Structure 1
Amino acid sequence: MSRRTPSSPPASAADGPAQPQETELKLALPGADPARIGEQLAALPGLAGVRVSEQRLTNTYFDTPDQALHRARAALRIRRLETDGAPVRWLQTLKTADGASGGLSQRGEWETPLADHALDRTALQATPPWAALDADGALWPQLAPAFATEATRTLRALPGADGSRIELVLDIGRVRAPAATSVDGASAELSVDLCELELELLEGQPDALFALADQIAQHIPVLPASLSKAERGWRLLAGTSHAPRRARTPPLTRQMTVTAAAQAVLGEALGQFLDNLGGILHADGSELVHQARVGWRRWRSALWLFKPLLGAHPLPHGAALGPLLKALGSTRDLDVAGLESLPLWSDAYVDGDPERAEQWQAMEAAVLAERRIRRAGLLAVLQTPPTGRALLQLERWLHALPQAVAQTEGAQAPLAQWARERTQRLHRRLKHEVRELDTSANAPEAPGANDHASEHQHRVRLLAKRTRYVLQGLAEVLPERRTRRWAEQATELQTRIGAARDLMLLATLLEPIGVDRAILGFLRGVAAGRLADG
């Protein structure tokens, strides 16, 4: 059985044998032409003239009918490897998912040469993970092919920073899975394309991967990507290849350090943001845009939560992400208008009048056309080098967080007390702002009062969102009853103010795209009435 070279220092004899580990940074290539991307890479500074080797890979992934390995976050495959001038090689690989942050993943990996395409049970049983996965031997007889990947792979061995060694891999191919058999007995094949870079650490520290990725990102659009090829296969089978990535509860404990919690909470939020950006590249779904913005707001909320810890570790300058965030916001505005706000008022406006029905239909067509324009703008921003580079810098910052703040006061303190104090402070602030908002609403109207009230409502709404996201992120370590009550209060407040504000801004949003003035007047009247009632 062969092993990957561990990227971390070897364990001492007292610690036992080191686990073989694969450390890699995976990058999607937004907008790349598979026929040209190899030439573009070869022309980059630092890559020109580097020797390139080529392989043809076919990987068959195995699991049980109930996906026992997938549920355990493990993957078992047989690889058929072809290299010009060399005999075909067969390799059996078992991988376990130890951890991932955006594009950077660290996994256990055990690799065994095979004589042919049949699984080797003896070699599998010799790996510690398999002994735990199949302690009673029940899984082995159930293993069967689930899906396959095929790719042409080009490889470059490169020196990295601080004496590291990196393998730069370009994979172009596809993931294939059998489709369900139809009633007439016919079957088809499902597939999704692959075009991605993998930077694998052969020796040295993981930051060297980010340094090389940054060099590439200065010239070629990239996007940190967390999905393995195995996970792509499972999503293909499930019909969820481009499904939105919703918030997940980070795996926190009351005893873990504040630093470890910060990396977990921030990493989960950034992962949600990046995964949905990846989905946007391949599917036109309003929920992908919405969940990307949720991920970003959760990221910003987590930055507030751990702000006392982060003074020693300043964030990268975020100006390069401005166009992306603006494009996400403008696209989401049209989604809310077209899919949520306007349908509620269609019948009230038309009221059986054919002329009004025609005006409303023209407005709906204008909104749809404008949304297409905004989506095209969003895709264009995602396919620019500055966007990918800025996202990589966030990943790099997050990876360096534990070491950068190690000596900061409170960094190694248990999470539980920190979480209670920070959430109580946030809740007190929200209560204060709500009281101020209520006081303003009952005060005599003064010049400019409406504008001031609108701004105040917006601040309260954002604070309610922050409160909800922070409470959700820390749910595992906070008192359950109080946390649920506070979260429900924040959600109700956010929803109530949000509905009024969405209506108030709707006419302003629609006016530039040429919507009939009668509709604009109607929407402004509805908004004024809702605000007065609120």
Structure 2
Amino acid sequence: MPRRPSNPSPGADKAAASGSETELKLSLPGADPARIGTLLAQLPLLANLPVAVQRLDNVYFDTPDQRLHRARAALRVRRIEVDGVPARWVQTLKTAPTATGGLSQRGEWETPVAGPALDLAALQATPAWPALDPDGTLWPELAPAFVTEATRTLREVQGEHGARIELVLDIGRVRTMAAGESGAATPAPGGKKFSAGQRRKTKAPAAGPAASTGQGEVALCELELELLAGQPEALFALADQIAQHIAVLPASVSKAERGWRLLEGTTHAPRRARLPSLTRATPVSAAAAAVLGEALGQFLDNLGGILQSDGPELVHQARVGWRRWRSALWMFKPLFAHHPLPDAAPLRPLLKAMGATRDLDVAGLESLPPWSEAYIDGNAERAEQWQAMETAVQAERRIRRAGLLSVLQAPATGRALLQLEQWLHALPQATAATDVGAQPLGHWARRRARRLHRRLKQAVRALKNAPAPTPPTPGSSTTMPPVASPDHQHRVRLLAKRTRYVLQSLTLVLPKRRTRRWADRATDLQTRIGAARDLMLLANLLEPLGVDGAILGFMRGVAAGRLADD
């Protein structure tokens, strides 16, 4: 149900208000929570708009085995406090969200309640609860799980073509519940509590810049744009106006999901690839939206993680998400004659910074460690050289990560990402009625996959048959064409990655045995070329850091040996 800056009286109608919410969620990379409200108020489009401020305390409920969470539903009791007005309580049930191009849509039922206790009658009055708890066994198991606390600033903005949008700034935290605490709401009727022993086994969340405000909690600083009236395109238009002045990042993780991640110790876990739900009868236009949406979601979620933690796997999985996006763009390229892509040039600084960061991560964590003993070989002087090299690599890693964070906190980056999401949101409608978009996916996907596999086979054949580069002979400036150069190998590696990602995304609609065989071969090829390439580039990567020449020579020898073997 759309929220309002008003505060209805406690005697308001208690029937469950029903509907669906359409919203666009934005994180605020690099924002100072103490100043972001002032910066927003200074934007011309928000100047002089009425502002309402609320204090929100929410307790989320679930069963010890997380039946609501597993059903992608959320149940909370909220205490709303406004200066000079008695606090009121609202019970909210939300069902599984669907996301299209960054917009989240989900069922939502809100009911004013007398106090902090759950109200079974209000739940049973919703169309969603009977499906979640058909036999009544879930209700007695409900217990408080975690808490969100925030100061909420609300404005209603007039958007394009008569649209009305509620712009919400939330600043606060998500936290686990202390031992014996029931929070703003009392335990469920069964009297049970969400004890640590009933939660999934957890571990302490990894530390990171601005990641948490203390033990068992994570900070909140985000915008929500909720559509009150009009078309969803108005949300993107308003977000674009904000992004021209303030750094934003499209975000899909709800407060409830953050709470579960906090309980599970996965707050900073990377998001890996997920399998889109497709069938052979799925129209190509709908399949394109699903595959591209999943890849872009992986990219964006890991970018959000990079802002919270310096885990190297977050950078790796963000790059995987982008590669999967690019691979899907190739797969569905025939659609885009009817729906041209936005300019991705503003994202080049981000992609370059991610690549530079990943190169040092691979060097420091994967390529160099296996060779330390072979180089040192009990020699104290070499051990000192190696230690100095490791120190230099770690210092450069910190410099490159700082550069990556700087790019993520640039308004141009968020604006370009929003344009991708807006393009993706419009993709199904723009292409559904076209000759390609209306085709069933099954046969069409098989043709595209065979074409991609043929290209990879041809590239590998050329790589195997190509002569190695030959240095110039004395007195001559000519060389044998470097067909099998590192750049050529890299192109084959990228083609192998594309093949792998396309096959994985479409695995539900392609022949299983053949698809598995092709994917395994592409993965093996990608791994073999990648290992050799990483070693070949390592010395060039280390040289500008002032690494001792003996180490550079040693690593070049290792790379040459690996290249000869491959």
Deviation at 1:455, TM superposition (A): 2.0
Who is 2:207 aligned against? Answer: none
Who is 2:98 aligned against? Answer: 99
Return the alpha-carbon distance in structure 1 between the equivalents of residues 561 and 241 of structure 2.
Answer: 55
Who is 1:362 aligned against? Answer: 388
2:412 corresponds, among 386, 389, 399, to: 386
Contact 2:389–2:547 under 8 Å retained in 1: yes
Which structure 2 residues correspond to residues 24-423 of structure 1 after superposition, within 5 A? 24-101=23-100, 103-178=102-177, 190-423=216-449
Which structure 2 residues correspond to residues 517-532 of structure 1 after superposition, within 5 A? 517-532=549-564
Q: Deviations over 1:149-171 (max 9, x none)?
A: 01000000011111110000000
Contact 1:76–1:93 under 8 Å retained in 2: yes
- Whichever residue aligns with residue 140 of structure 1, its letter is W
Q: Deviations over 1:348-377 (max 9, x none)?
A: 111111111110110000000000000000
Deviation at 1:101, TM superposition (A): 4.1
Q: Is 2:523 aligned against 1:491?
A: yes
What is the SS of the residue equivalent to 2:134? coil
Contact 1:178–1:237 under 8 Å retained in 2: no
CA change 1:128–1:353 in 2 (3 A) is same
Return the alpha-carbon distance in structure 2 between the equivalents of residues 516 and 194 of structure 1.
Answer: 45
What is the SS of the residue equivalent to 1:364? helix
Which structure 2 residues correspond to residues 479-518 of structure 1 after superposition, within 5 A? 479-518=511-550
Deviation at 1:450, TM superposition (A): 4.2
Deviation at 1:178, TM superposition (A): 2.9
Contact 1:179–1:237 under 8 Å retained in 2: no
What is the SS of the residue equivalent to 1:475? coil
CA change 1:444–1:518 in 2 (3 A) is closer
- Whichever residue aligns with residue 55 of structure 2, its letter is R
Return the alpha-carbon distance in structure 2 between the equivalents of residues 448 and 360 of structure 1.
Answer: 37
Contact 2:342–2:423 under 8 Å retained in 1: yes
Contact 1:305–1:422 under 8 Å retained in 2: yes
What is the SS of the residue equivalent to 1:55? strand
- Whichever residue aligns with residue 456 of structure 1, its letter is H
Q: Which runs of 5+ in 1 are unaligned?
A: 6-17
Deviation at 1:258, TM superposition (A): 0.5
CA change 1:290–1:448 in 2 (3 A) is farther
What is the SS of the residue equivalent to 2:253? coil
Aligned length: 517
Q: Name the stretch that deviates more: 230-239 or 442-451.
A: 442-451
2:456 corresponds, among 430, 444, 449, to: 430
- Whichever residue aligns with residue 494 of structure 1, its letter is Q
Q: Deviations over 1:220-244 (max 9, x none)?
A: 0000000000000000001111110
Contact 2:2–2:226 under 8 Å retained in 1: no
What is the SS of the residue equivalent to 1:476? coil
RMSD: 1.9
CA change 1:36–1:500 in 2 (3 A) is same
Return the alpha-carbon distance in structure 2 between the equivalents of residues 271 and 94 of structure 1.
Answer: 25
Return the alpha-carbon distance in structure 1 between the equivalents of residues 100 and 376 of structure 2.
Answer: 50
Sequence identity (%):
73
Deviation at 1:138, TM superposition (A): 0.2
Contact 2:468–2:484 under 8 Å retained in 1: no
CA change 1:394–1:371 in 2 (3 A) is same
Return the alpha-carbon distance in structure 1 between the equivalents of residues 286 and 229 of structure 2.
Answer: 25
- Whichever residue aligns with residue 86 of structure 1, its letter is V
Contact 2:469–2:483 under 8 Å retained in 1: no
What is the SS of the residue equivalent to 1:272? helix
Return the alpha-carbon distance in structure 2 between the equivalents of residues 281 and 102 of structure 1.
Answer: 22
What is the SS of the residue equivalent to 1:122? helix
- Whichever residue aligns with residue 429 of structure 2, its letter is Q
Deviation at 1:449, TM superposition (A): 3.9
Contact 2:102–2:422 under 8 Å retained in 1: no
Who is 1:23 aligned against? Answer: 22
- Whichever residue aligns with residue 487 of structure 2, its letter is E
Deviation at 1:475, TM superposition (A): 0.9
Q: Is 2:506 aligned against 1:474?
A: yes
CA change 1:195–1:372 in 2 (3 A) is same
Return the alpha-carbon distance in structure 2 between the equivalents of residues 212 and 75 of structure 1.
Answer: 28
Deviation at 1:98, TM superposition (A): 3.0
What is the SS of the residue equivalent to 1:88? strand
Who is 1:8 aligned against? Answer: none
